[in-house]
Structure 1
Amino acid sequence: MISRRSFLAAGLASGLPSLVPSAAFGEPFTLGVACGDPDPGGFVLWTRLAPMPLAEDGLGGMPEAPVPVHWQVTTDPAGKDVVRRGVGEAVRDWAHSVHVEVTGLLPGREYWYRFKAGPYLSPIGRALTAPAPGSVPRSLRIAVCSCANYQHGYFTAYARMAQERPDLVLNLGDYIYEQGSDHLLTLGGNVRDHEGAEAVTLADYRRRHALYKTDPDLQAAHAAAPWVAVMDDHEVVNNWTNLIPAERRGAAFRAYYEHMPLRPSARPGGPAIQLYRRLHWGNLAALHVLDTRQYRDAHQCAPGYSSCPLPADPSRSMLGLDQEQWLLDGLRRFGARWELIGQQVFFGQRDRDPGLDRVVRQDAWDGYTAARLRLSEGWIEAGVRNAVVLTGDVHAHWAGNLVLDYDDPDSRPIGAEFAVTSISSGGDGHDIDPATDPLLAGNPHLRLHLRRRGYLMIQITPSTLTADFKIVPYVSTPGAPVVTAGTFALHDRIRGLIPVAGTTPSPRHPDSSAAELRRQS
C-alpha cells in the first residue's frame, strides 16, 4: 500500500478531477474508507464526508448542498490501472455518506479503491471480489470481531487484524456503544471518553459512530479488507428487542447505515433495517448473516443469567419465522462445503449451575431453546455437510461442539461454535485456568474459554477449517502484541472439534501479564 503523500507526489491524482475547487469545507475524509459485501462481480464502497466529525448537530461540518464524490477502482495499489470509475452524490439527509455498488469486475480478484471530493483525496483501501459461482477456491481467510467499546480500551486488535490482510472481516456487532461518559468500566475506570451522554437521538448516534471512525486502528481494519457487518444490541441500547421505541430504533438504524459499507438495499425505512443476508465464496463456503435482535420475541425472563421459572414456549423465536425459514431454505438449496452462520449471541448451552436449576443467559439462545432446536434439527434434515456457528457478544473466546441434547454428555456433535472475544469491551481481561474453570467442567461440549481481548482468524480449505484464537494481553494502553492462544480444527464431514497440538491454552502463558508485555513491547 502506498501512502497518500506518495500518491500525490507521483502525480497519480490527475485521473480524479476536482469538481469543487473552492469547496466550503476542510479535509472531509476524517472517517476513512471501507468496502463490504463482496460478490463475484464487485462490492460496495463507503465513505462519509466529515471535516468536523464531532460537530454537535451530527452533520460533520458539511454544507447543506450535495457534494459530488468521485471514486475509482484499480487493479494495483498505485492506482495506475483504473478498471471502474464514477461519481456519487453525498447529501445532507444521509450525513454526506456515500454507498457505491461496484459491478462488472472479475471474480476472485484483489482490487484497490479511493475517493475524491473537491481537492481532497481519500486514503486507499483494499477490496476483493468473491470467487466465481461453482468454483472451489483453495482457501478463505475470515477475521471475526465483535464488541469494541471505545471507553474501555484501545483498538489494538483491529490493527493486528489488519496486518494479517484477511479475505473478509466479519463484524458481529457492538461496533459502537451507546453508553455515556458516566458509564464506567468497573475495574480501573475508563481509558478514553465517549465525549457525551448516552446516544438517543440521530445526532447522538451520528456523533458516536464518527468518534469511533476517527480511531486509526479501526480505519486500518476497514482499509485492509472487505467487511461483512451486522449489528447487535449496543448500536441501539443494551439487550434491546423490538419493544424499544420506534423513534430511537429508527435513529440508530439510520446512523448505522450511514457509517457502514452496506448495500443500498439495507437503507433503513424508519424503525426497520434489512441486515440478514447471504454471501457465497464459490462452493467452498456460504456465509449466512443473521439478525438476532430485530425480529426476536421479547425476553421471557430478565435478560441476564437466571433460572427462568416460566415454562418454555415452543412458539417463541429468536429470528422471527420469516428469517428462520429463509435460513433453512438457504441451507437446503445451496449446498456449500462449509456452511457458516454468523450471528450475535451464544448459540450452544452455557449453564452456570449444571445441577437441577439450569442458570443460563436469557438474552442468548438459551432463552429461546425451542428455536435453537428447530434450527439444529433443520440443518440435519437439510443434509448440511459442515455447520459452523460464528458468534459475538460474549467478551470471551469460546470453542464448543453443538449437540441436540445438552443434558446428555454423550450427545454427538452436529456442528461447532466459535465465539469471538471483544476488541476492547471489558478492559484488559484476565487469564483463566482451564483446569479449574467451572463453566468448562459443567458444560462438557465446551472446549475453550479465554477472557483476554482479540479476534478470531478462520482459515478454510476444502478439507479443513482452522480457528486461531488471537489475543492481545492489554488494551488499557496502545501497542500490545498479538499471540495465538489456542487453535481448533474441523475436518470435512467429521463433526467435532479437534485441538491443534501445541497451541491450546495453558493455565498461564509465559510472560503473559499485562505489565510484563508492556515492558517487552
Structure 2
Amino acid sequence: MNPRSDRRRFLALGTGSALAAAVGVHLADPGRAWAKPQFPDDPFRLGVGSGEPYPDGVVLWTRLALDPVSPDGTGGMPDRVIPVEWQVAEDDRFRRVVARGTAKASPALNHSVHVEVTGLRAHRRYWYRFRTGGYTSPVGRTRTAPDPKAAVNRLDFAFASCQNYYEGYYTAFSHLAAEDLDFVVHLGDYIYEGGGQGTIGRGHLPAVETFSLADYRIRFGQYKADPELQLAHAAFPWLVTVDDHDVENNWAGSHSQPDTEPDQDPAIFLKRRADAFQAFYENQPLRLESKPDGPDMKLFRRRPFGRLASLHMVDTRQFRDVQPTAQDDRHDPERTMLGARQERWLVDGLDRSRTTWNIVGNQVFMFQADHTEGPDTRYGLDPWDGYTAARQRLFNAVADRGVDNFVVLTGDAHRGTAADLKLDFDDPSSRTIGTEFLGSSITSGRDGAAMDNLGRIWLAENPHLKFHNAQRGYVSCSVTPDAWQTDYKVVPYVTRPGAPLELAGRIHVEAGKAGIAGVETATD
C-alpha cells in the first residue's frame, strides 16, 4: 500500500460534498499530535463501532492497536498522540461525504477515538471510516435516531449480553450482523474478569483475574479483536452498559463481591472499579458525558425513538446496596437497587414519557423467580428478588402514574425467558403492569440446552413466566404502534464455530394491553 496515494483517495472521495452543519470531536489529549505517523502494520485491528444514536448524530469509535494484547496494555502503540482522520458518508463508497474531521488518539485513553458527530439527518443510515499513517479502517454502518416528534411506524433492534470469551465462539454475533436493525443494546458482561482458560483454545489473556488498568486493557484487546464481534459493532449503533463481570462478579456499589472478598477495603475495590471503567470507556462508543471520573461513570440515560418508543438505560451496579446475606433480609424497605437519585430519574422519565412504548434496559431480572420445587421458596439475592421493596416502589409508580406499555429488557442470567410483571407476584390474579424479556448469553454457560432443570422449576413455580430457553443467542425485537414482537434467536452450540441460527420462540405483546398476548415456540 502506498500511504500517499491512499491519503489522496481517502480525501478525494469527499470532494464537493455538503458537510454536516456541526461536528463535535472528543479530543482525548490536548498535547501535540504526531504530524506524520508511520506504522509497521495496520493499527485498525480492533475494528470500528458507533453508538448512542441521536436524531442529529452518533458517536464513532475506533482504537488503534498494533498488538491488542501486548503485556503492558498499550496495544503496542507508541507513547504519542496520533491524529486520526474520519469521514461520514451517505453511501458505502463514500461518494457523498457529509462530515469529516480529525480526532486525536491519545495514550491517556489507550489510543481510542470517540467522535461525536452532529448535523446529520434524523433516522438515516450512514457509513463511516477512519484513516491514519497510510492505513484505512474497515467501513462501519450506522443509523441516527428518529426525531422525537416524528411518527415512526416500525423500530427493529436486538439486545444481547454475557459473552465469556473462553466458553464459546461468537457465532451469534455473525448472525446478528446480518440483520437489518436500527440499533443494538448490550446489557453488560461484555468481558469477564476471571483468568479462566476453558477447553476450546480461547483462554483468557492475561491468564489471571484482572485487577489493574493494564489487565483490563489486555482483556478488552483480546475480546475486541474477535472478528465476529467486530462485524456486529460495524453493522449498527450500540447502546452499552456494565454489569458485574465488567468489573468483578457480583460487586455492589463500593463493595467487592461478598462471597469471596467480604473484608476487602472499599478504597482498594474502588481503585479497581476505576480501572475497569476506564478500560470500558476506552473500548466502547460512548459519549464524553460517560467518561469515568475515577470510580464513577454515568451510565443511566434516556434515548427517544420518535413517538414510538423511549429507552431508559438504568445502572443496577453503582448505586445498589450490597446483596443481603439471608432470604428474609431481601424485604428490607430501605434497600435500594438504583439509588434514590436514579430511582427518581427513572420514575419521572416514565411518568413524563409520551411515547407508545416505555422500555427499560436493565441488567438483572426484575420478575420474581422461585428456585425451589414445592411449598418451600428460595430466591436469588443479586437480582431484583434481593431488593423487593425497591422493585415494589417501581411497580407501584408504573401502576399509579398510568405508564402504558412498560417493557423491561434484561441480561445476566444466561437463559431466555418472557414474563408478565405483576404488582403482586404471589397472587397470580394480581394486576399485570408490564412485560420482561430476559435474553440468554452470547457464550456464557457454554452450549446450553432448550430446557434444563432450573427452567423446569421456574416454569412450574412461577406462573407469570410464559417462555423459557437456556441456549445461547440474542433477542431481536420488532416494534410498531400496535404491537411488539420478540424473537429469541439461538445457536445450538458455541464450543465450536459455525453454528446455524434457530428461532427458539416468538412472543407477542399488544399495545394498550399489559402482559404477554401470545407465545410461539419451535415445537408448536
TM-score normalised per structure 2: 0.90
Q: Which residue of 2 aligns with 1:438?
A: 457
Q: Is the 8 A contact 1:335 1:384 kept in 2?
A: no
**Cα-Cα RMSD:** 2.2
| CA-to-aligned-CA distance 1:66-112 (integer Å, 9 cap, x gap) | 00011111000111101011111011011010101000111111101
Report the 3-state secondary structure (helix = DSSP H, G, I; strand = E; otherwise coil) of the residue aligned with 1:220.
helix
**AA partner of residue 462 (structure 1):** P
Which stretch of the first structure deviates more once superposed, 427-436 or 477-486? 427-436
- Residue number in structure 2 paired with 1:145: 160
Cα distance, 1:429 vs structure 2: 0.5
1:96-134 C-alpha deviation (Å, 9 max, x unpaired):
101010001111111011001110100011111111121
Name 1:209's counterpart in structure 2: 220
CA 326–476 in structure 1, closer or farther in 2 if over 3 Å, else same: same
Picking from 197, 200, 203, the partner of 1:193 is: 203
Which residue in 2 is equivalent to 1:411? 430
One-letter amino acid matched to 1:447: K
Deviation at 1:12, TM superposition (A): 5.2
Tell me which residue corresponds to 2:521.
504
Contact 1:71 1:116 in 2 (8 A): yes
The question of whether the paired residues in 1 share the 8 Å contact of 2:509 and 2:518 is answered with no
Q: Matches of 2:330 and 2:417 in 1, distance apart?
A: 28
Q: Which runs of 5+ in 1 are unaligned?
A: 1-6, 302-306, 508-521
| Aligned AA (1:504) | T
Q: Where do 5+ consecutive residues of structure 2 fail to align?
A: 16-32, 257-268
**Is 1:256 equivalent to 2:280 in the alignment?**
yes
Alpha carbons of structure 1 residues 51 and 436: separation in structure 2 relative to 1, 3 Å:
closer
* Residues 455-477 of structure 1, C-alpha deviations (whole Å, 9 max, x = no match): 00010011001000001000011
Query: Among residues 294, 315, 331, which one is paired with 1:270 in the alignment?
Result: 294
Match of 2:329 in 1: 310
Alpha-carbon contact 2:13-2:95 (below 8 Å) kept: no
Quickly say closer, same or farther: Cα 1:150–1:143, change in 2 above 3 A. Answer: same
Say whether 1:325 aligns with 2:344: yes
> Relative to structure 1, is the Cα distance of residues 265 and 429 closer, same or farther in structure 2, using a 3 angstrom cutoff?
same
SS of the residue corresponding to residue 222 of structure 1 reads helix
Counterparts in 2 of 1:311 and 1:455: CA distance versus 1, 3 Å:
closer
Residue 116 (str. 1) matches residue 131 (str. 2): yes
* 1:499 CA drift (Å): 2.3
Task: Tell me the equivalent position of 2:90.
Answer: 75
Between the aligned partners of 2:432 and 2:84, the Cα distance in structure 1 is: 51
Deviation at 1:506, TM superposition (A): 3.1
1:11 is displaced (CA, Å) by 4.5
Deviates more, 1:434-443 or 1:458-467: 434-443
TM-aligned CA deviation for residue 296 of structure 1: 0.2
The alpha carbon displacement at 1:165 in A equals 2.7
Letter in 2 for 1:211: Q
Is residue 158–residue 217 contact of structure 1 (8 Å, CA) maintained in 2?
A: yes
Structure 1 counterpart of 2:282, which letter? E
Q: In 2, distance between residues paired with 1:361 and 1:111?
A: 43
More divergent stretch after superposition (432-441 vs 226-235): 432-441
1:34·1:47 contact (CA, 8 Å) conserved in 2?
A: yes
**One-letter amino acid of the structure 2 residue matched with residue 488 of structure 1:** I
Identity between Structure 1 and Structure 2 (%):
47
Rounded Cα–Cα distance in structure 2 between residues aligned with 1:451 and 1:436: 7
TM-aligned CA deviation for residue 434 of structure 1? 10
Shift of 1:152: 0.2
The alignment's TM-score, normalised by the length of structure 1, stands at 0.90
CA apart distance, 1:484:
1.0
How many aligned residue pairs are there?
A: 489
CA distance, structure 1, for counterparts of residue 371 and residue 209 of structure 2:
31
Is 1:66 the counterpart of 2:76 in the alignment? no
2:330–2:388: 8 Å Cα contact kept in structure 1?
A: no
Aligned equivalents of 1:9, 1:117: Cα separation in 2: 9
Is 1:107 the counterpart of 2:122? The answer is yes
Aligned residue identity for 1:32: G
| Alpha-carbon distance in 1 for matches of 2:37, 2:422 | 63
Choose from 151, 170, 181 the match for 2:196. 181
Cα distance in 1, alignment partners of residues 455 and 479 from structure 2: 32
Letter in 1 for 2:489: K
The aligned counterpart of 1:221 is 232
Q: Which moved more, 1:317-326 or 1:405-414?
A: 405-414
TM-superposed deviation, 1:8: 6.8
Distance 1:469 1:217 in 2: 19
Matched, 1:370 2:380: no
| Aligned residue number for residue 515 of structure 1 | none
Task: Summarize the alignment of residues 345-356 of structure 1 with structure 2, pairs less than 5 Å apart.
Answer: 345-353=364-372, 355-356=374-375
- Alignment of 1:43 with 2:25, yes or no, is no
Alpha-carbon distance in 2 for matches of 1:19, 1:254: 24
The one of 387, 393, 401 equivalent to 2:406 is: 387
Give the equivalent residue in structure 2 for 1:299: 323
Displacement of 1:385 in angstroms is 1.5
- Over 3 Å counting, the alpha-carbon distance change for 1:142 and 1:323 in structure 2 is same
Are the aligned partners of 1:12 and 1:80 in contact in 2 as well (CA < 8 Å)?
A: no
Q: Does 1:156 align with 2:171?
A: yes
| Aligned match of 1:510 | none
Relative distance call for 1:497 and 1:15 in structure 2 (3 A) is: same
Segment drifting more, 429-438 vs 201-210: 429-438
Report if the CA contact (8 A) 1:46-1:97 is conserved: yes
Runs of 4+ in 1 over 4 A off after TM superposition: 7-13, 15-22, 433-436
Offset of 1:191 from its aligned partner?
Answer: 4.8
Q: 1:289 aligns with which of 313, 321, 334?
A: 313
> Which residue is 1:241 aligned to?
252
Pairwise CA distance, 1:482: 0.5
Q: Match for 2:356: what amino acid? A: R
Query: How many angstroms does 1:24 deviate by?
Result: 4.3
| 1:426 Cα offset (Å) | 0.7
- Look up the SS of the partner of 2:485 in the other structure: strand
Q: Distance in 1 between matches of 2:39 and 2:425?
A: 62
Residues 330 and 386, structure 2, Cα contact 8 Å, conserved in 1: no
